[in-house]
Structure 1
């Protein structure tokens, strides 16, 4: 393929990825679920381009999460919300990992809307959100994580730093949703923030408006 054609193709792919990303960050998860369910090829293309983006990062943040989870006992049960191609489950084969996303890209993944996952109450030890807090109903995701987590279950979140207007405000709202944050790591990497929290029973009685900024991609 001629070099000029390659560059054009890359720009078209980048434009598609940027547009879809902005859409996913700003719509309700039920809308996202309908979009991908109606045309699974869009989901496949999105994750193909996502993997290309990962290769450009200084590190894949999910690998740090996996490294931490590998140290837990083999009986540990994990729920991976927004798992993509289920790298976590494919790597941690000595753990029980439930992998959820809008579309099943392989046999490890259970397709669903992450605000309603097919697990019973208090069934998992650790819930993971690795770059998957996308949409305008994030509180629904975190509430669902609280429902399926065992008493004193753990929550692991990794997200892009630029999405946080205020880390302290985000931590406060996690507490309102039933999660006590024990550690926030924002110094070991220039791009990502890792949050570690533990389930607590006390929660706010009213709605909690948990928000993150979209990752908006500039046209180039």
Structure 2
């Protein structure tokens, strides 16, 4: 677990302090769950099932090793049994490769980093919608999303914030999130990121006279 009760209290206090200076609504979510990449596992197993048997044939393997009395069979039966044997070997290789990749959790290492980042981005968007950040009065919701397993941070902003704040203005916020995780000080990184996000929002969206706290300040852990 990355956070204790003291850390959670610090993070909630940092969110409250940042929101006191802006009309923006900040939500912080951290995901510590490891991703499984099913498509990668299946692709690796399929590739192994197609390539390895062909390599075995080129190396001298023949269906006669699987079929008793191979030399006594007629040509048509040999052809049929050969196809059946090759298909059986492919099936066994597929199952074995799938079990190996899944058991050793190689799917993450075999998945390109760009695809892993896309998975994190999709998860952040889903949480942004699910947590009500699109339903604030002034459309000023901002999500700070950190995927601990992938060391990837996302800042997702609703319409009013997106229209006023350039994407590059979130650079220091994202940098603080990543630096905190890499240094093993996740709570410090989140507090620093929240303070930076609050400063960005305060510069573009000052607090309104009728401003209320519409979203919870507590850290959300997945």
- Under a length normalisation based on structure 1, what TM-score does the superposition of the two structures give? 0.26
**Structure with the larger helix share:** 2
Larger radius of gyration: 2
